[in-house]
A and B are shown apart, each in its own frame.
Chain A
Amino acid sequence: MAAPSRKGAVAPIQFPPPVDSAAEFVGPPTDSEDERIEVGVAIVGGGPAGLACANRLLALLEGEPELTERLGEVPVAVIEKGKSCGAHNLSGAVMRPSGMRELFPDVPESEWPVYGEVEDEAVYLMLNDRRSVRIPTPPNFRNHGNYVVSVAELSRWLAERAEEAGAYVLTETSATKLLVQDGIVRGIRSGDKGRGREGEELPNFEPGSDVTAKATVLAEGTWGHLTGAAIRKFDLASEDPQVWALGVKEVWEVPTPLTKVIHTMGWPLRTGAKWHEFGGSWIYPMGEDKVSIGFVSRLDHTDVTLSVHDVLQQFKLHPRVRGILEGGRRIGWGAKAIPEGGYWAMPKLTAPGMVICGDAGGMVNVPELKGIHYAIHAGIMAAERIVRALKAHSTDFSQYDSAVHDSVIGEDLYRSRNMAQPFEKGFFVGGAIANAMLATGGRFPGRHWKLHPDAGNPVFRGGRDKGYPKPDGKYTFDKLSSVFVTGNETRDDAPNHIRVQKRVPREIAEMWQWMCPAGVYEVPEDAPEEGRVDVIVNYTNCVQCGAITAKGGRLTPPEGGDGPLYTNT
């Protein structure tokens, strides 16, 4: 492990969350047969992967009357925990058009919910808080022909089309349990509603339902809840653990249109190996009057005080960024974890009766910052393999796994399989190695560069919080008012959906406090300066970014409908 050994430094992995996902979140149906809801295909997750699958399924079913009848009254159901599809979706984003072209070959690109083709781009190396230098655009950042898009808006658009095609899109519905019987996935169980803070049943308590299906698609996004349980239950994990980065994003109305897609590296992230700060920023134009700006950094960081939200605020102070945002107004904010393990961290993608699509299956190309089109391609492939198998009365979808690996998803991820890992050697050495990989198409230095769990790195106070600006409420913002902007309206007496050990060393608690973009974790004011503390968990602030799962905790879905209501992220 490339971690510095500081005396007494603790690692989050030493304090695992109190959860046994295979035991708690997997089980047979418990409702009586006439109470169960039967659907044909149950898709968990209303993002690009799940909705691409739904749309393709319905298109295929049009030519399969016999199968359609067998699938019953509800051939395709999409189960989405957010208030609407898109409410929990967040990304930069620049999307390759291949996925949409394959999904809707007859829809002209002028009708796509996108913000225009990328026409110009630039990459900057931020040297310090004042200076930056433009560097020639490395091949992984070349985006001509790609589209700037808001994945929240894209999901809404895809959901509308799925509904028009006949899908039942069940929003405000969380999927809390994977139904497995006789070793085969039979569907999911939806979450209860109306529980109180201690989990007790309130007067309007409504239990969840068993939703049984002939095929279940897990498209839950970054570290899906059921995906994690399924991986443990069916032993689908790859050799290497999944690793994540945290992205915090803002959407701004700006007076002057931004004319190019911008990526930056360097400041304010530190280049030394011991910090494990690998990431950068993006600034994308959204049409003439809006800009998407975000900062990403890996979650294997070692400095307790790393807060990607605050790094973003700090980053905005750079004159090059000010030049873009000045005179504008923030109209959106959000955060989301990104699976960055790439090829080596992809789990097996199928189990009897079940497939995994999109970010939940780690289908993100980190060097190129692409994942949306892979999600769509995977959703399409899942639909095709499922139809084929169901026609043959089979629940063996393993052909989907090989299809994904043979497709552009497998190719791209394999080629970039070692490109993120070198950066654990620091920015410059890492950059050099990564460039060599790019130049050789991944063949140098070859081998399997192992990934290490994010929570395994010991953390210590590194003092980078000194650089964070004090929020002024107009240009830079604090976490609470940012959470407010997401439209997060969780019930005050909702039960806690976050699993963490409550009593941890102070450094771990502080690390969570800084890490969480929504201000969920707090070290109590009267806690001792050293030793163990009882961390406060303000779970109603949670925007479900998933960072905690990477760093010693476990996110589970809250009551359906809770959490952010992203519209333009």
Chain B
Amino acid sequence: MKICVLVKEVPDAAVQKRIDQATGRMDRSGERNLNPFDTHAIEAAMQIKEGGAVQVDEVVAVTMGPESAVRALHKAVSLGADRSVHLCDEALAGSDVAATGYALAKALEPEQPDIVLLGQQSDDGACYTIGAVVAEHLAMPSLTQVIQIDVQDGKLRCERQAEYGYDTVEVELPAVISVGDAINEPRYPSLKAIMGVKKKQLDAVTVQGLEIDAGLIGADGSRVQCGSFHAPPAKESGQIIEDEDTDETVQKIVAWLDERKLV
């Protein structure tokens, strides 16, 4: 069985992000790191591989991003992936969620994975959606926000917290599963593993090589345009009550809640 893990390099969440006033785009310079949710996906892949319920031959890390994205692949490999694939092409710049998912699906096609794992959201934009887009293009079932995966009889038994509580869903392979951070505690890479990443195979692929339809990617191929950043409406400053007579204070609080239909 082959597991592919989709990873993404994102600006470090801890660093204050800002909009570059000159371009109107998110200032993406500065610290870049493997998307924290993806470390959970890699860990999930490793746990399936080490779990013994199925024979996993390869765990492959796949990313779409500029040159610097190799660092995300290095991190994935240090955490246990056997090799990695880097889809890097200028034509992809400016791709929206639908275009990105399409391109990633095209990168996954030649791999013929049995399971595709990814983190359910990234720190810099899209949430809970890439998995569904990829699955659509790969004609696979998809689940997001999964916090438990058990491999049973060649199927995946997944748990996730949906609108009404916890759902247990059984999914046939091949499938695309987006995992939440509650699914596991990712391992730390050993120093040896970190130092060995450059030896692992890394394949660079392009739009042309994958026969990706150029009309469906990049800024031009994206069907949603984001822009016009503005500040949210300033919040009105609140009211302060100094408690002297508690009964009176409580009455005022209840009246305030009442006005807002909160009681």
The smallest C-beta distance from A96 to any residue of chain B, in angstroms, reads: 27
Are A487 and B188 closer than 8 Å at their CB atoms? no
Are A37 and B192 closer than 8 Å at their CB atoms? yes
Q: Inside 8 A of A489's CB, which chain B residues have their CB? A: 13-14
The smallest C-beta distance from A199 to any residue of chain B, in angstroms, reads: 16
Are B31 and A567 closer than 8 Å at their CB atoms? yes
Are A209 and B192 closer than 8 Å at their CB atoms? yes
**A59 contacts chain B at the CB level, 8 A cutoff:** no
Are A168 and B195 closer than 8 Å at their CB atoms? yes
For chain B residues 154-204, which have a beta carbon within 8 Å of chain A? 185-192, 194-195
Q: Please, how many angstroms separate the alpha-carbon atoms of A289 and B112 in the complex?
A: 51
Q: Inside 8 A of A203's CB, which chain B residues have their CB? A: 185
The smallest C-beta distance from A37 to any residue of chain B, in angstroms, reads: 6
If A84-B31, A565-B12, A567-B30 touch, whether A206 touches B192 (CB-CB below 8 Å) is no
Q: Inside 8 A of B188's CB, which chain A residues have their CB? A: 193-194, 204, 206
Q: Inside 8 A of B194's CB, which chain A residues have their CB? A: 170, 173
For chain A residues 161-212, which have a beta carbon within 8 Å of chain B? 168, 170, 173, 190, 193-194, 202-204, 206, 208-209, 211
Contact of B187 among A74, A173, A204 (CB under 8 A): A204
Q: Inside 8 A of B191's CB, which chain A residues have their CB? A: 37, 170, 173, 190, 208-209, 211
Q: Inside 8 A of A331's CB, which chain B residues have their CB? A: 16, 18
**B262 contacts chain A at the CB level, 8 A cutoff:** no
Q: Inside 8 A of B189's CB, which chain A residues have their CB? A: 206
Contact of A565 among B18, B31, B187, B195 (CB under 8 A): B31
**B33 contacts chain A at the CB level, 8 A cutoff:** yes
**B15 contacts chain A at the CB level, 8 A cutoff:** yes
Are B187 and A83 closer than 8 Å at their CB atoms? no
Are A485 and B192 closer than 8 Å at their CB atoms? no
Q: How many residues of chain B have a CB within 8 Å of chain A?
A: 19
Q: Please, how many angstroms separate the alpha-carbon atoms of A84 and B33 in the complex?
A: 10
Q: Inside 8 A of A193's CB, which chain B residues have their CB? A: 188
Are B15 and A209 closer than 8 Å at their CB atoms? no
Contact with B along A191-235 (1 / 0, CB 8 A): 001100000001110101101000000000000000000000000
Q: Please, how many angstroms separate the alpha-carbon atoms of A173 and B192 in the complex?
A: 12
- Chain A residue nearest to B18 (CB atoms) is A331
Q: Please, how many angstroms separate the alpha-carbon atoms of A567 and B186 in the complex?
A: 26
Q: Please, how many angstroms separate the alpha-carbon atoms of A74 and B191 in the complex?
A: 13
**A488 contacts chain B at the CB level, 8 A cutoff:** yes
The smallest C-beta distance from B211 to any residue of chain A, in angstroms, reads: 33
For chain B residues 8-38, which have a beta carbon within 8 Å of chain A? 12-16, 18, 30-31, 33
- Chain A residue nearest to B15 (CB atoms) is A487
Are B31 and A209 closer than 8 Å at their CB atoms? no
Contact of B190 among A77, A84, A206, A488 (CB under 8 A): A206
Contact of A83 among B16, B18, B33, B186 (CB under 8 A): B33
Contact with B along A459-494 (1 / 0, CB 8 A): 000000000000000000000000001011100000
- Chain B residue nearest to A192 (CB atoms) is B188
For chain A residues 141-157, which have a beta carbon within 8 Å of chain B? none
Q: Inside 8 A of B33's CB, which chain A residues have their CB? A: 83
Q: Please, how many angstroms separate the alpha-carbon atoms of A104 and B13 in the complex?
A: 33
Q: Please, how many angstroms separate the alpha-carbon atoms of A209 and B192 in the complex?
A: 8
The smallest C-beta distance from A490 to any residue of chain B, in angstroms, reads: 10
Q: Inside 8 A of A74's CB, which chain B residues have their CB? A: 195
The smallest C-beta distance from A204 to any residue of chain B, in angstroms, reads: 5
Q: Please, how many angstroms separate the alpha-carbon atoms of A173 and B31 in the complex?
A: 17
27 residue pairs from A and B, CB less than 8 Å apart: A37-B191, A37-B195, A83-B12, A83-B31, A84-B31, A87-B31, A168-B195, A170-B195, A190-B191, A194-B188, A202-B185, A203-B185, A204-B188, A206-B187, A206-B189, A206-B190, A209-B190, A209-B192, A211-B191, A485-B16, A487-B14, A487-B15, A487-B16, A487-B31, A489-B14, A565-B15, A565-B31
List the interface of chain A (C-beta within 8 A of B). Answer: 37, 74, 77, 83-84, 87, 168, 170, 173, 190, 193-194, 202-204, 206, 208-209, 211, 331, 485, 487-489, 565, 567
- Other than the given A87-B31, A168-B195, A487-B16, 10 more pairs (CB < 8 A) read A83-B31, A170-B191, A190-B191, A194-B187, A204-B186, A209-B192, A485-B16, A487-B15, A489-B14, A565-B14
List the interface of chain B (C-beta within 8 A of A). Answer: 12-16, 18, 30-31, 33, 185-192, 194-195
